[in-house]
């Protein structure tokens, strides 16, 4: 756990202003992040938003932080010591584009990408700790983990927690215990089946990797890392989450070669590897950046990332003028979209950006109405 000490000598707090918060609003970290409102709390932790809403800030008491460290649930650099008014805590910072909330508050809202990210974090956690109840856990998408709080609440089966995240607004909560669900664990097959039962159109594509499979031959992936679950399974590509800080994007040979024939990928180095009895191409991409289809969005947008999407639309349209971008794969790290249809697009990019702005479970919604026209203009600009 790395050092991150804040000088609190400048802060004078009245008791009635403190309001039982570990950290006062307005506290500024050395890197310029400013604490905003408190979002949630429990005896051992409190969750805050940064003042500009770009980050979520989890402040944890040392006893809980030590348990997570002992269980190797987080990389050593993730938790940073934080001293506030003489009290010692640990701080976890994640971008607000990635979920950080109680497991029981997670809802997929129709997004398979959100669902499989949740599944992946559960698989990653169970690889480290098979026994501890996750009912009181915090879902930390950035580090692909569920962080248990070790409270004395009765155990709930992992499958029940997953079913709760799938349920609709009026569906009852499932608090089934592991005994009531014959163990109640989660597997790829059971999770797929439950998604289908809740109306998700899960593709019948066989994944190249199984959860728990060790990978050592991908550039950029830490040696000994394991696949924790699929994030997207489509005929043209598959995306996998890992226990490292990277995703793996597998591109089917014909699709990859079609992309390589354009200016979208002709400057990108792809690794060719044999998988499933034939040759495919692979890329490793950072977990901190979006990697998702535009028709199955999950990444929580802010003004900066929405402008990036608009710029990616413009670049892609210039390279592939007739492509259909409605279900293209957004690769934020490369600043481009990868279309799966090259000749059937309408070219109505203004409507596409409007949908990204306002539609879907994790859209920016009305928050960015004041800049929406500028974002649409970037997408359709010829410059």
316 in Cβ contact with 339 (< 8 Å): yes
Which tokens hold the place of 144? 């692909």
Tokens linked to 252: 């089917």
259 φψ region: left (φ > 0), alpha (ψ -120 to 50), beta (else): alpha
Q: What tens digit of pLDDT does each residue of 197-239 get?
A: 999 999 889 999 999 999 877 877 888 899 999 999 999 999 9
Q: What is the pLDDT of residue 267?
A: 77
Lowest mean pLDDT among 57-66, 267-276, 315-324, 373-382: 373-382
Which residue is associated with the tokens 């009245």? 14
How far is Cα 29 from Cα 371, in angstroms, rounded to an integer? 29
Classified as helix, coil or strand, 242 is: strand
Q: How confident is the model at residue 88 (pLDDT cuts 50, 70, 90)?
A: very high
Phi and psi (nearest 5°) for 358? Answer: -120, -15
Residue 86 — φ and ψ, nearest 5°? Answer: 90, -10
CA torsion, points 259, 261, 267, 270, in degrees to nearest 10? 50
**46 membership: H or E segment, kind and range:** strand 45-50
- Whether the per-residue pLDDT at 175 is higher than 70: the answer is yes
User: Residues 241-257, buried b or exposed e (16+ Cβ, 10 A)?
Assistant: bbbbbbbbbbbbeebbe
Which structure tokens are listed for 135? 């009912």
Average pLDDT for 114-135: 96
DSSP character string of 99-125: -EEEGGG---TT-HHHHHHHHHHHHHH
The whole-angstrom separation of Cα 218 and Cα 331 is 18
Confidence (pLDDT) at 220: 78
Cα separations (Å) of 246 from 224, 243, 287? 13, 8, 5
The Cα 165–Cα 182 span in angstroms is: 20
The per-residue pLDDT for range 229-286, each reduced to its tens digit, is: 999 999 999 999 999 999 999 999 999 999 999 999 877 888 899 998 899 999 999 9
Provide the mean pLDDT of the chain.
88
Its sign, for the CA torsion 146, 229, 293, 259, is positive
Cα 270 from Cα 250, distance rounded (Å): 10
Residue 336 backbone phi and psi in degrees, to 5: -140, 165
Residue 311, pLDDT above cutoff 90:
yes
**Is residue 30 predicted with pLDDT exceeding 50?**
yes
């Amino acid at each position: 756990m790395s050092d991150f000490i804040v000088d609190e000598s400048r802060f004078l707090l009245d008791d009635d202003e403190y309001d039982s918060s570990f950290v006062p609003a307005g506290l500024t970290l050395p890197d310029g992040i400013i604490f905003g409102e408190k979002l949630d709390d429990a005896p051992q932790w409190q969750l805050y938003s940064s003042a500009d809403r770009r980050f979520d800030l989890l402040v944890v008491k040392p006893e809980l932080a030590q348990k997570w460290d002992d269980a190797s649930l987080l990389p050593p650099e993730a938790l940073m010591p934080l001293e506030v008014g003489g009290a010692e805590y640990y701080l976890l910072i994640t971008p607000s584009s990635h979920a950080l909330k109680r497991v029981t508050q997670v809802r997929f809202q129709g997004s398979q990408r959100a669902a499989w990210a949740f599944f992946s974090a559960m698989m990653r956690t169970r690889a480290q700790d098979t026994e501890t109840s996750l009912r009181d856990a915090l879902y930390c998408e950035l580090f692909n983990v569920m962080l248990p709080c070790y409270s004395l609440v009765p155990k709930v089966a992992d499958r029940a927690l997953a079913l709760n995240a799938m349920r609709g607004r009026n569906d009852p909560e499932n608090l089934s215990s592991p005994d009531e669900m014959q163990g109640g664990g989660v597997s790829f097959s059971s999770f797929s089946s439950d998604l289908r039962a809740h109306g998700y159109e899960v593709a019948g594509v066989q994944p190249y990797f199984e959860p728990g499979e060790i990978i050592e031959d991908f550039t950029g992936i830490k040696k000994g890392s394991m696949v924790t679950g699929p994030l997207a399974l489509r005929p043209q590509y598959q995306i996998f989450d890992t226990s490292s800080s990277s995703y793996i994007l597998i591109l089917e040979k014909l699709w990859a070669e079609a992309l390589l024939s354009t200016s979208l990928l002709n400057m990108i180095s792809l690794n060719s590897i044999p998988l499933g009895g034939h040759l495919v191409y692979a890329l490793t991409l950072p977990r901190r950046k979006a990697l998702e289809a535009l028709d199955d969005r999950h990444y929580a947008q802010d003004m900066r990332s929405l402008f990036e999407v608009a710029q990616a639309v413009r670049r892609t349209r210039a390279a592939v003028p007739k492509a259909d971008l409605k279900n293209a794969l957004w690769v934020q790290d490369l600043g481009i979209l990868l279309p799966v249809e090259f000749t059937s697009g309408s070219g109505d990019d203004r409507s596409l950006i409007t949908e990204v702005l306002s539609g879907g479970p994790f859209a920016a919604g009305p928050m960015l109405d004041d800049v929406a026209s500028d974002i649409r203009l970037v997408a359709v600009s010829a410059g």
